Amino acid sequence: MTFSENHKTVSFDDELLILVNENDQEIGYKNKVECHQGRGILHRAFSIFIFNEKGEILMQKRSSEKKLWPLFWSNSCCSHPRKGEHIEKSTLRRLEEELGIRTDLKFFFKFQYQAQYLEVGSENELCAVFIGKSNSPVVANKNEIEEWHYMPVTELDQKIADDPTQFTPWFKMEWQRMRTEFWPGIQNYLK
């Protein structure tokens, strides 16, 4: 497992996130801390799923330093576009910052969810889900990621069935939709 030597900080409490309504129209900006307090304020986000040539999915365990869902397993990369940043640009930026990967991404779907983590805070996001392919070496950012590995899809399905509590809530929602609604399109994209 390779980690970046410089442990660059890529996420900041004062970065301005994009507030949206249910139609994904921008309605303002608030810093990351404010967006995640209490039940959260609806803001734009994204999730990325990276697959290798074997069709395995790159999974990450979130850093112990994360305020929300530390040490939970989740998809390859997830974050937020910042004020003035187009979502496609932010996905490529964050993928490189967290995993050292550069690859094209394909948008698959968007959904809204709210999830509370203990008394610490919440995610309240309109989240765009992207898929990518890469066989590049992973160079993980230790500030964001505790562990990572590629996993066969059927093994992941079994792990979720056996113990869903080890995964982030957004990942479970996204994965369920990917497997039930979008899997033929994803398989076609991965060919």
What positions carry a catalytic annotation? 78, 125
Specify whether the CB–CB gap between 18 and 80 falls below 8 A. yes
- CA 141 to CA 100: how far, in whole Å? 8
- The tokens describing 112, both together, are 């809204």
Identify the H or E element spanning 115.
Answer: strand 105-117
What single DSSP character describes residue 2?
-
**CA dist list (Å): 133 to 10, 38, 130, 184:** 23, 36, 11, 16
Q: Which amino acid is at 81?
A: P
Phi, psi of 3 (to 5 degrees): -120, 150
- CA 122 to CA 35: how far, in whole Å? 8
Q: How many CB atoms lie within 10 A of CB 65?
A: 12
End-to-end CA distance of the chain: 26
Mapped onto helix, strand or coil, the DSSP state of residue 36 is coil
